[in-house]
Amino acid sequence: MAGFDLVLLGDPVAHSLSPVIQQAGLDAAGVMGTYRALRVDANGFRRACVDLRAGRWRGANVTMPHKRLAFAETDEWSTGAERSGSVNTIVVKDSRLVGHSTDIDGIRQVWQEAGLPLDAPVLVLGAGGAAAAALVALDVSDLLISSRRWEAAQEVAATADVAVRPVKWGKVIAGAVVVNATPLGMKGETLPRGIVEQSAGLLDMAYSVQVTPAVRTACRAGLPHASGPDVLLAQATASFTLWTGLAAPSVAMRAALQKAQATG
């Protein structure tokens, strides 16, 4: 697999640990290739899709704010990506771009691993591609969504075709598991007061090298929780297999992530 080069497309990307994780995976699997991060705006993303079709890269990950745009720019989709209208992984197939949402698989995996309740209400915060993936992954009987952009939240819920109740931004839903699908926490921002403290658990999709305030709050309260790096690793291993057709060397990828977190 000489020249098996991959790219992460988004804005921002400087904080991302995906290059560390995926390069470790390529190296451990003996795949000759590179994984780099490229900061792009919407126009830059569209140009990158042209480059993908031309064979510059064999595949791509997509991060905020382009997951919805990636759906529009790809040619065909996995079931999960089509349902969520969100793409975080692009596979090049004969100059066609196939969109996947490995976020969905990653969310389900870490939910189980963290022991988050299966019978509690779920409150999803956000209205972007990550929120769409969460709605599809966690299609439960009592699903709620809250966003500072309510029209966008309505659009996400309609695309995912799930029964969801609107909740005013900042409203505390006691006993719900909170899914933070916003960027809040990446730069030390906090979620609205009481959201995590009165929850039944937390899945925080935001991440940075440092632990986010929401995760620290969950830890202090003794709540079951999963962090952004947990989701990142789970979706990364699924992406690796889609690109290469190989079982992901998850032990090596996890070790690289942990080392980056420890030295970051």
Could you give the residue numbers annotated as active site?
67
96 three-state secondary structure: strand
Nearest partner of 181 among 67, 262, 71, 59, judged by Cα:
67
Nearest partner of 90 among 242, 253, 250, judged by Cα:
242
d(C-alpha 3, C-alpha 32), whole Å: 6
In contact, 207 and 227? CB cutoff 8 Å: yes
- Output the DSSP codes for 61-86: EE-TT-HHHHHHH-SEE-HHHHHHT-
- Tell me which amino acid residue 105 is: D
Cα atoms in the Cβ-side hemisphere of radius 13 Å centred on 262: 6
- For the chain, the straight-line distance linking the first and the last C-alpha, in angstroms and rounded, comes to 31
- Tell me which amino acid residue 150 is: W
Nearest partner of 65 among 123, 6, 132, judged by Cα:
132
